[in-house]
A and B are shown apart, each in its own frame.
Chain A
Amino acid sequence: MLAFLVTRLLHAVGVVFGVAVAVFFLIRLGGDPTALFLPPEATLEEIQRVRHLMGFDRPLPLQFLDFLGNALRGDFGLSLRYEQPAMGLVLERLPATLELSAAALALSLAIAVPLGILTAVQRGRVADRAGLLFSLVGQSFPVFWLAIMLILLLSETWQLLPPSGRGGWQNLVMPAMALAAYSTAIITRLLRSSMIEVLQSDYIRTARSKGLASGTVIFVHALRNAAIPTITVVGLQVGALLGGAVITEEIFAWPGIGRLAIQSITNRDFTVVQAFVVFMAVLIVSINLLVDILYALLDPRIRRR
């Protein structure tokens, strides 16, 4: 188990390092990146000031070492717009994003787990077909359009919920619904297919034939094993799910890191974009690492590989 942990940890560190390198070179893809950080009408003096401030006038290998050294200490430079540490800005907005993601995930699981089980058990019948249609619709909804239609119905027409901002639970409902749509669809489909597979296996037949109640077989014996592949794939999709959060936050003016990222791109505040991408990479890799460990704890066969 220790060897497994060490290998996975080293791999995770390697991936984050790779992301940092990729970000460093992407920003410098078009040569001197100074222009990226400035409005088009900047004067020569401003250009030189920023070039020196950002260290773009130093040799590339030195810039790279500086970048890595600073990054290791969590220093990604100053935001040119807010004149505050870029990583600090990202971390400041993190609680809002975590709140939204947690609410969306809870909502997804509350719908997808019962629906996944129901459709698998009722395979081929009306409930199954309705469940599949539901997940097809959820998977095909453009997040931003769903968000606007929710605002149209629940805020503009029925005046039930505030259209934007962060505050009480009322503010959380619509963004969470918009963000949950896609993951609910995906989790339902995955759980359904792994439940179907597990329900056909020998140990389930044994459990049934020794007279266990059907509820015990489904919820205790089958669900535990069917959950493993579902958790893995959901873990791998975290990146895509967080991408949805970017758009959701933008539409509902939710003050999280996704909205910060979009604003920074529009404002050409690339130090913040850099900090955001590296932070997200750490987050995604950590979640995948957690999933790997969870997987190994649930299934001893994985540890020996």
Chain B
Amino acid sequence: MDVLRRFLRSLPAATGLAIVLVALAAAILGPAISPHDPDAQDIMSRLLPPLSQGEEGAHWLGTDALGRDILSRLIVGARVSMLVGVSAMVVSALVGVSAGLAAGYDDRGVGRALMAVADVQLAIPFLVLALAVVAVLGPSLLNLILVLGVANWVQYARVVRAECLVLRNLDFVLAAQAAGTRPIRIVTRHLLPNVMSSVTVISGLLVAKMILFESSLSFLGLGVPPSIPTWGAMIADGRNYVANAWWVAAMPGFALFLTVIGINLVGDRLRDMLDPRLSQVEN
């Protein structure tokens, strides 16, 4: 509770948290709270502007070219964004933190090899690689999560490795080694807990990045299958009507923009709280 109170002391962070909670609620409750059926088409009420009254009730954010309610589709679309953002971050963290711990504990053989792989990966234009992999494997939620997850492990690995290289020479680790503790135990019990605050900071900001990536891929039609409503696909759809029905593209984009800002605000605050050295400079 004390931590929460400290967190909320910053107005931007509190605003960010509120936005994130709304997006999470939409993602979890989804169809239960959407005012209309997100897939119900109604040609009679196509491209209605925001705040108009349809046959089935008000369309607060208007309707798209097939007469579907935009607000309902936004609420349901939040699920894919949040699911992909968080799951892909978890995959990245698992791969990256393990690689970073291994490379930081043993910075000769394994460590060098892992960092070489990281260098190679950073030289590959990620978005094109992701597009190619999805084109090869076919669009599916799982493929998307795996591609995004595997493609973003490097940041974790680099930071965790750098911290381990320092931690490894501190007295408590040397003492554990002298006492004959097995390496795996040193890594999990002594090194891992000490890198967790950096991992938390990276994770917050990475979720925002992942959500932007997911929507970019869906926008290009190579994200999740087209039958699932996503913000990226909704924007792509609205692009065709931007001249006479701006809201079709603008609304999902605004939802995406707000969500990413919210997560970034929370991430920034986490960094300030967990890493006093950075906050002193940044704030």
Say whether A associates with B: yes
B148 located at the interface, meaning its Cβ lies under 8 Å from any Cβ of chain A in the complex: no
Provide the bound-state CA to CA distance between A23 and B235, in Å.
31
A115 located at the interface, meaning its Cβ lies under 8 Å from any Cβ of chain B in the complex: no
Task: Say which residue of B128, B219, B257, B264 sits within 8 Å of A280 (CB atoms).
Answer: B128
- Among listed A59-67, A138-146, A291-299, interface-contacting one: A138-146
Task: Say which residue of A143, A151, A196, A243 sits within 8 Å of B125 (CB atoms).
Answer: A243
Contacts of A270 in B (CB 8 A): 132
Provide the bound-state CA to CA distance between A148 and B254, in Å.
12
Q: Check A277/B281 contact, CB under 8 A, given A145-B256, A148-B242, A239-B122.
A: no
B85 located at the interface, meaning its Cβ lies under 8 Å from any Cβ of chain A in the complex: no
- Among listed B90-98, B179-187, B243-251, interface-contacting one: B243-251
A51 located at the interface, meaning its Cβ lies under 8 Å from any Cβ of chain B in the complex: no
Provide the bound-state CA to CA distance between A265 and B120, in Å.
22
Contacts of B116 in A (CB 8 A): 14-15, 18
A76 located at the interface, meaning its Cβ lies under 8 Å from any Cβ of chain B in the complex: no
B47 located at the interface, meaning its Cβ lies under 8 Å from any Cβ of chain A in the complex: no
Contacts of A137 in B (CB 8 A): 261
The count of chain A contact residues (Cβ–Cβ below 8 Å) is 54
- Expressed in whole angstroms, the minimum distance between the Cβ of B269 and any Cβ of chain A is 12
A246 located at the interface, meaning its Cβ lies under 8 Å from any Cβ of chain B in the complex: yes
Provide the bound-state CA to CA distance between A258 and B128, in Å.
8
B171 located at the interface, meaning its Cβ lies under 8 Å from any Cβ of chain A in the complex: no
A242 located at the interface, meaning its Cβ lies under 8 Å from any Cβ of chain B in the complex: yes
A262 located at the interface, meaning its Cβ lies under 8 Å from any Cβ of chain B in the complex: yes
Minimal Cβ-Cβ distance residue in A for B119: A15
- Expressed in whole angstroms, the minimum distance between the Cβ of A196 and any Cβ of chain B is 6
- Expressed in whole angstroms, the minimum distance between the Cβ of A147 and any Cβ of chain B is 9
Having A15-B120, A140-B260, A281-B124, one finds 16 other A-B pairs with CB under 8 Å, namely A15-B116, A19-B123, A136-B261, A136-B265, A136-B268, A144-B215, A149-B250, A152-B246, A239-B125, A239-B126, A240-B126, A246-B125, A261-B125, A261-B128, A273-B132, A277-B129
